[in-house]
A and B are shown apart, each in its own frame.
Chain A
């Protein structure tokens, strides 16, 4: 392995961090103009630095890496954590997505947040987020990764609650942070377990390379540890990546500005769990049972979220559930051992989902915050670029042949089938139908048909300025051509992305290679299901709306369940949050105030049983009381002294 020491990596983190500092300064001095320059400027500079880093990486051997050891962070006893960054091929993909898509979203934000008085604070948070996200992927050990892991959580909290004057926004931010913390606690325990288990069987370390290298030894000597550790880390991933059962924060997170949803809650942060599992792929392959759980969680989430997406009224909520569902595919990918397929889908998703969100943002911007699709319709005429790019993204996410997810989702599902997780494959394929349905439902309701806008709003609808549409067009192009980096059947360059990532990831041997016929059958099934979904959406929302009424009449019950999101939020309130609140009050009002303090005061009263002393206390003459205490203390001390002296 050829590692190259370079101090370049720290600057990749430092530049957005400085951007954050300048943004904070601008916010403090109320100079939005400054932040409008430094915010996107810092990101573009970071993107350039990331490109330089990646080009240097390409000069190394395939398994080489760029390393930047900065200093020893925490050191005591066997614990020795370096603050060090590392870029290998897996990381290179991540930093390009983060800084590349991040730059586009920063530029788009210039238009989107144009009239917001707090634009400086916005860019400060956004830069801080990018710095944290980069620490997350660059970190060479679990604790350093955890700095970023929780750092992005903080930024997400701040950005969801960016418009803090509305209490629901602040509530949503807090919900996100606490749901994430549940995952983070499990993540921490996973770290502890790995550390001490490695201490027993080899070298105690939390370095990612060290863990991956010793994963085999660990599995030989303590077979339960990789499984337990992988499951604990998975809980962390379900928090950060919004999977069942901790996904509930993500739909609420849509309270934040829409570019934030695009960057944090679609393209980057929420994929951190997928990245983490891929990063520790050598540990995960030693825990096949945990892998099956990962795949199952992914499969369940993927279908479960997709069913909720089909009935959402709010355009952003459709996309939110869609994100939960799409990350489910990535989790399936890494769960069935197709780590590169998971990352491939992560990358494609970053393009088309960011695009969908930015289009939704453009619509919102044009309609002055309107998000209800029942109040949209026919926007295609007035917002042609937005409509067309949304359409492309819809084709991409639906998996229409030739577009992004056709390649990436198919690779994931195929791997699930071949790996023997046929049920997971079934969940994924079913969800693909729902995916195509909900995204085209959103497209038809928003952009086609009769306008259902409020008349005064309709008059002002206009296409966005080019600072917003150019990022849309770039992402649209990427959503079309991106998928071709991973072609099936060894066509042309074949699975280029898989081969590129291979040195960073564990390789899983399958029981036997499936025939081309099987693969073609799988691909045809997935595509047919997707096309069915589009056709169904077209039928219900364009061709014959009366069918919609009939369907609705027959499925009202199901619709209710879906529309109320299976009452999962209510269930959590009922089962966890309310009992916690009640227990807290009980501990406070009864245990603390009555029981414990009762004993304390009772004992006190007995000790100072002379009521005249008590009355004297209440006269307020503190000095005399304190003097009394002093005398008393001296008396006690003297008494014991005498007693002991005699004894």
Chain B
């Protein structure tokens, strides 16, 4: 416990990334192998963290605090709780997956690419573990740059447009958040203490008007990141232009920052305003679910289709996070991990097949099961994970979200449930046109099936899809206490309009066992 494990996890990718820069660039296998081995280190460290994590504690734990700019109340302080735990593990897991999956996708400036992936990991991890608002904001901005570079250097033909859109959009949100953040700190400073410590800031006294404005400033930044309808149009462009690795990180982790930040900042900092925003957030989530699914349906480009499916799926996540119900919120947090896995898996697999054919147009495929059966089966599994078939991870998440939401707002849950049908419609249509039917494109006859390296990179995702689907308890156990802490905080703040009374489990032995 004495080891500053969170710092180690966060900064090891940066340090290893810098080491990577000193390695020779040619042959490319040197930086590739090094980067892969390096990326396993933060993953191993995150498993240590997982092991040390106390599931019974809902508050932040493993806190590390070092004084940084004490006069401004800025500390280098890190911590982890049920909101960030699994996202940290997901981040450290997806980085080696991405490195392995981009082995042949990236053909030029390989070393720089790998460097940026590690820097990106650093930024994402930093944002997840920071419990100082200033530190968080630093990492939040920092994530942007490696992603922009990955898009701009290794992206597709329209990469500059996509990059500028991505950067400007996100920056616009960030600027707003920045102002709100400073206002908040200064408002809190009126009580005599200047601090950026999040938990302390939770108790800031604000007028109703202040709270509402600040909430919306934060919320808009997070809406863009999630992305919520109608702030989503940067996502399909970014996904379509990004290389495989960029898409996986984008879908897998970057988008989760929006949801995560709601839980860590927007909701607990401004509990009343957050509750008042309920109709809007729920409305946009539900619209996003249906709209994303509908727009996904006619997409001719596989990546674009999956990008729109993300809009739909993130609508589910936001619905869960905003259910203000233990079950719904826990499900929403789990669903962030689930979406990272399934969508990450889809982008990886699409990347593999793109690598061979250099097209993502669904219409140019068809009947490839016979030539690439391993690919087809893995694609099927991830597709089923994505549409939430029971036994896979997304079912558990969606089920919890919807049942949680049903208590608070039945009609929102009912409309959202149609996403179950629409999701099947676009995913199965894509799967059918790519994998089934006659093999009409002669170029496909010589496709080679996935290599062991490629299978290995998807394998962790497939394993987790089933693990979370069949035995989600270890995941849920570590999320739920933190959700209860947040709900307790909302209750104390008097934000109880949409808060269902925190139901006590009826059979006491279960509580004792926990």
Contacts and interface: CB of A to CB of B under 8 A. Distances in A.
Interface string A156-176: 010001001111011101100
B104 interface: no
A640 B152 contact: no
A617 B160 contact: yes
B202 interface: no
Interface in A262-314: none
Given A77-B480, A199-B503, A600-B234, A165 B438 contact: yes
Contacts of B429: 174
A608 B168 CA distance: 9
Contacts of B216: none
A456 interface: no
A184 B390 CA distance: 11
A584 B297 contact: yes
A185 B417 CA distance: 6
Interface in B418-466: 418, 420-421, 424-425, 428-429, 432, 435-439
A27 B152 CA distance: 43
Nearest to B167: A629
Contacts of A644: 179, 182-183, 186
A588 B299 contact: yes
A602 B406 CA distance: 39
A637 B178 contact: yes
Interface residues of A, number: 78
B24 interface: no
B342 to A, nearest CB: 16
A147 B391 contact: yes
B504 to A, nearest CB: 9
B70 interface: no
A600 B165 contact: yes
Contacts of A640: 175, 178-179, 182
A630 B436 CA distance: 48
Contact of B400 (A74, A167, A196, A629): A74
B149 interface: yes
A167 B476 contact: no
Contacts of A367: none
Contact of A607 (B172, B471, B472): B172
Contacts of A629: 148, 167, 171
A77 B390 contact: no
Given A171-B432, A600-B234, A626 B403 contact: no
B432 A588 contact: no
Given A76-B476, A597-B233, A641-B182, A581 B297 contact: yes
Contacts, number: 204
Contacts of B172: 607
Interface in B160-178: 160, 163-165, 167-169, 171-172, 174-175, 178
B402 A188 contact: yes
A77 B400 CA distance: 10
Interface stretch (B123-131, B245-253, B255-263, B323-331): B323-331
A152 B367 CA distance: 24
A14 to B, nearest CB: 13
A146 interface: yes
Nearest to B438: A165
Given A170-B437, A607-B168, A636-B175, A79 B327 contact: yes
Contacts of A633: 141, 171, 174-175
Contact of B424 (A71, A181, A199): A181
Interface in A102-117: none
B424 A178 contact: yes
A164 B505 contact: no
A89 B242 CA distance: 58
A438 B68 CA distance: 86
A185 B418 contact: yes
Contact of B370 (A165, A171, A607, A608): A165
Given A79-B400, A151-B391, A596 B233 contact: yes
Given A146-B390, A622-B149, A74 B399 contact: yes
B473 interface: yes
A270 B414 CA distance: 25
B409 to A, nearest CB: 12
Contacts of B141: 633
Contacts of A588: 294-295, 298-299
A78 B421 contact: no
Contacts of B340: none
A255 B474 CA distance: 42
A71 B472 CA distance: 11
B407 interface: yes
A195 B410 CA distance: 12
Contacts of B473: 71-75
A607 B179 CA distance: 18
Contacts of A28: 373-374
Given A77-B480, A626-B149, A189 B391 contact: no
Contact of B439 (A165, A171, A189, A622): A165
Nearest to A164: B436
Interface string B392-414: 00011001101110110010011
B447 to A, nearest CB: 15
B291 A587 contact: yes
B230 interface: yes
Given A161-B436, A164-B435, A644-B182, A178 B425 contact: yes
A173 B473 CA distance: 33
Nearest to A583: B294
A355 B406 CA distance: 45
A584 B182 contact: no
B308 to A, nearest CB: 8
A188 B502 CA distance: 23
A526 interface: no
A151 B374 CA distance: 21
A191 B417 CA distance: 12
Nearest to B436: A170
A613 to B, nearest CB: 10
B160 A622 contact: yes
A171 B433 CA distance: 10
A468 interface: no
Contacts of B107: none
A522 interface: no
Nearest to B175: A636
Given A74-B472, A76-B327, A77-B480, A164 B437 contact: yes
A304 to B, nearest CB: 24
Contact of B420 (A75, A188, A600): A188
A560 interface: no
B369 interface: yes
A647 B369 CA distance: 66
Nearest to A634: B141
Contact of A184 (B233, B326, B370, B420): B420
Nearest to A618: B160
A220 interface: no
B420 A604 contact: no
A226 interface: no
Given A620-B160, A641-B182, 10 more contacts: A77-B330, A150-B395, A165-B436, A195-B406, A199-B407, A600-B169, A601-B165, A622-B153, A630-B145, A633-B174
25 contacts: A27-B373, A28-B374, A73-B471, A75-B473, A77-B330, A77-B505, A78-B505, A151-B391, A177-B428, A181-B420, A182-B421, A188-B402, A188-B420, A189-B413, A193-B406, A193-B410, A585-B298, A596-B232, A596-B233, A607-B172, A622-B148, A622-B163, A626-B148, A636-B178, A644-B186
10 shortest interchain CB distances as A-B pairs: A77-B326, A170-B436, A622-B152, A192-B406, A147-B390, A77-B327, A164-B436, A76-B330, A167-B437, A78-B503
